[in-house]
Amino acid sequence: MKNIFFVLFATSVYFSFGQIPAYYSSVDFTLVEIELKNELSALITSTHTSPTTYDEVWDVLKLADLDPTNAANVLLVYGYNDADGDVTNDRTRDKNDNGGSSGQWNREHVFPKSLGSPDLGTSGPGSDPHNLRASDVTTNGTRDNRKFVNGSGNAGVSGPNWYPGDEWKGDVARIVMYMYVRYGNRCLPSVVAVGATNAIDGNMIDLLLEWNAEDNVSAFEINRNNRIYEAIGNRNPFIDNPRIANRIWGGMLAEDTWGGLSIQENYTDNHFSVYPNPVLNNEIYVSSSSSENILSVDLFDLQGNKIATWNPSEQTTTFTLYLEEIPAGIYLLNLESNQGREVKKISIL
């Protein structure tokens, strides 16, 4: 049986790791880049069957933005302190204290209406609750339509731009990605975030991929995605699995909440070299043959179980794997760079 497997493996490889939710059954996750983006766009557009009016969003947010520790409150995007006497930076607020006055919360367009092309308005994309977050009225006005920029610490103005805060930067990134996939050129990330342009897609900004990786999905985001799904019929894929962003745009690797997306790669591409093979002295060296930065290396056994993962802490085209704890046997290395991934068979003696 193993001999048959390796004959097939010599030309291509296909594995399915983890459990992909039924909602995504129509999506081929062996696709990458624009092809995968297009399939996700078709899904989240076709399942967006119950769009909300701008007024209806109030009720959706009172469920979707609930504080996981206190169901009487909503969490306020960009907020960080309930105890300093300054209501403008409150992190939580009574869910029924909504409106347009100071000390109340209102609906913040994470992707600002005015930066849409054309303006998003207050219907269609302008009333999509995936893009609307509970926010302090004053803070919402201060953010206005400022673009997102890198920073650290709490949310606030940074020159002409806006840093969303360490707690919220991943939330913001995943919302902007959703808006781009759902509404296409009407909601370009490049007009709402400041930073280097993505090499795969000139409309994407790499900063958003970094935030997606650095700030993991929270229980709050998961609940929010579920409640909005119940209300309007579609989901934010980047909350369900942040690693999807890497399959489309590459960039800094985010968590893979499904335990491994399906992969299908050409085994003869030779983007990477691994040596020595068989492995000697419990060490193996990985090298990118085309000067592409190595993003991650995953080690699988022949049953598809992930044994180990390595993520270089900085950009590099070479990497050393230490395998002291790995039993002797035949394994598969899944190697990923900015431009693609490849699977190599290795033998540990």
**Could you list the pLDDT tens digit for every one of the 349 residues in the chain?**
222 222 222 223 333 345 789 999 999 887 889 999 999 999 999 999 999 999 999 999 999 999 999 999 999 999 999 999 999 999 999 999 999 999 999 999 999 999 999 999 999 999 999 999 999 999 999 999 999 999 999 999 999 999 999 999 999 999 999 999 999 999 999 999 999 999 899 999 999 999 999 999 999 999 999 999 999 999 999 999 999 999 999 888 899 998 766 443 333 356 788 889 899 888 999 988 766 788 888 888 766 677 888 888 788 888 899 998 899 988 888 888 766 677 788 888 8
Of 241, 244, 146, 167, which Cα lies nearest the Cα of 211?
167
Sheet order of strands, 272-280 included:
306-310, 294-300, 329-337, 341-348, 272-280, 283-288, 318-322
What structural domains does the chain harbor? 2-14+265-348 (2.60.40.3080), 21-249 (no CATH)
- Name the token pair of 339: 């431009």
Tokens read off for 79: 């907020």
pLDDT of residue 306: 78
Provide the pLDDT for residue 339. Answer: 66
The reported pLDDT for the residue numbered 303 is: 62
List the one residue out of 62, 244, 109, 35 whose CA is nearest residue 235.
Answer: 244
CB count within 10 Å of CB 127 equals: 22
Torsion 297-298-301-302 (CA) sign: negative
Q: Tell me what pLDDT residue 133 has.
A: 98
Measured CA to CA, the distance from residue 187 to residue 119 in angstroms comes to: 9
What is the predicted pLDDT for the residue at 304? 63
Token pair recorded at residue 71: 């169901």
Q: Which residues contact 35 (CB under 8 A, 6 or more apart)?
A: none
Residue owning tokens 């040596």? 275
Measured CA to CA, the distance from residue 150 to residue 11 in angstroms comes to: 43
Cβ atoms of 187 and 225 closer than 8 Å? no
Neighbour count for residue 285 (Cβ, 10 Å): 14
